[in-house]
Amino acid sequence: MYKSVVREGKFWVIVVDGLFDSLLMELPTKELADQVAFELQTAWDQGESLGARQMREKLDSERVSKDISEVFLKVKSMNQVEKEIYQEKMLRLQSP
């Protein structure tokens, strides 16, 4: 996490990892330190989000999870007779 702090009259942007604080850069004003820390944290958060989305797409490149969700929604919206017909159709497809 990126934060702006004032230490000994100087304006710093630091990186906080839960165990240690590391000084990253000194800036001339508190407002600038706040803005830099905000922009760095925003970029980090966007990078994490993009990385997670890319990993999901890589793991599910054929969009199987989307297809499964569509089938569940379709079955959920069926009435009882339609469900029975669909179930019989699926059983016939599975039989050799």
> CA angle 78-84-88, nearest 5°?
125
Q: How far apart are CA 69 and CA 38, in angstroms?
A: 37
The mean per-residue pLDDT over the stretch 63-72 comes to 81
Sorting pLDDT into bands at 50, 70 and 90, what band is 96?
low
> Where do we find the tokens 């905000």?
38
| CA–CA gap between residue 40 and residue 59 (Å, rounded) | 28
pTM above 0.75, yes or no: no
Per-residue pLDDT of 22-33, as tens digits, reads: 999 999 999 999
